Amino acid sequence: MLQLPVSRFIQACIFIVVVLFMGSCTSTKKAREELKYLDGNLNIPPNLEVPAKEIAIQKGDLLSIYVYSDNPEATAIFNQQVTKTGGGVPGYLVDQQGNIRFQTLGELHVEGLTKKQLMDTMDAKLKVYLTNPYTDIRFLNFHVNVLGEVNKPGPYSIPEEKLTILELIGLAGDLTLYGRRDNILVIREKEGKREFGYINLKDPKIFQSPYFNLQQNDVVMVQANKRKQTGTEQQLVRNLTILSAIASIVSVAALVYNVFRE
């Protein structure tokens, strides 16, 4: 009398396993679609052009400025040790008015200029004091922050002063399995205002985005997709796993019981 109900129980277990397997296959296929990058035709004319746009100097930037000329002794005064910042890094801090104070030349308005434009300006002013002067200017604070669903979140300092969103993701160890690739937020401060831009890593037109090339102090945030489980959902999965294991043990025990019963 016990054999029929047990047989039906085993059949039900097998049916549940098959349903779960099919659901798992569907979920796996969907997950693979979510993990794609640059899904589409990349070989289009706008993508083949690489803009050589320099970043502009902003308030709060820290600049390294060295002067060279045919008069090494006379040049020394322009390369005197400048005041160090709180982090112990010597440099010229762009104040809230967009200015720096440079020895002998006095106050210079630098906000909005590129490095080349500032070098040209300073070279022209230094000709009054030096023979064939030229300057070398670099950003000391070119760093970006990446937060959220990446394997290595945190701040990244970039000595090359040039960084794309794809390069940043590479530095951060790629997105996690739960990172949304179609809606990455870039927070940017520009001319005293805050901008919010979004990037879709699956779109081959990403190279045309104004946020593809990152700027100093950008913050990149990668949100979690719907597949990432909350604490409650994780507990539910654990409970279901335990129940599934118990059901498997019961079905095996019932099968053994029926075999020996006969």
Domain segments of the chain as ranges: 3-32+229-261, 35-53+143-222, 62-139
Superfamily holding 35-53+143-222: Outer membrane lipoprotein wza domain like (3.10.560.10)
Confidence category of residue 186, pLDDT binned at 50, 70, 90: very high
Say yes or no: do domains 35-53+143-222 and 62-139 share a fold: no
The four Cα atoms 111, 158, 138, 63 give a dihedral, to 10 degrees, of 50
- How much is the mean pLDDT over the chain? 80
Q: Is 172 in contact with 150 (CB distance < 8 Å)? A: yes
Confidence category of residue 155, pLDDT binned at 50, 70, 90: very high
pLDDT by residue (tens digit) across 29-77? Answer: 555 556 666 666 767 777 677 666 788 999 989 999 999 999 888 899 8
The hierarchical CATH code for the domain 62-139 is 3.30.1950.10
Rg (CA), the chain: 31
pLDDT at 185 > cutoff 60:
yes
| Helix, strand and coil percent figures for the chain, each rounded to 5 | 40, 25, 40
Query: 3-state DSSP call for residue 177?
Result: coil
Give the model's pLDDT for residue 54. Answer: 83
- How far is the CA of 136 from the CAs of 117, 118, 127, 145, 178, in angstroms? 12, 10, 15, 27, 44
Query: 3-state DSSP call for residue 193?
Result: strand
Amino acid at 206: I
Q: Is 185 in contact with 25 (CB distance < 8 Å)? A: no
What sign for the dihedral angle of Cα 94, 96, 97, 101?
negative
- How far is the CA of 138 from the CAs of 17, 105, 116, 118, 119, in angstroms? 62, 19, 10, 11, 10
**pLDDT higher for 184 or 34?**
184
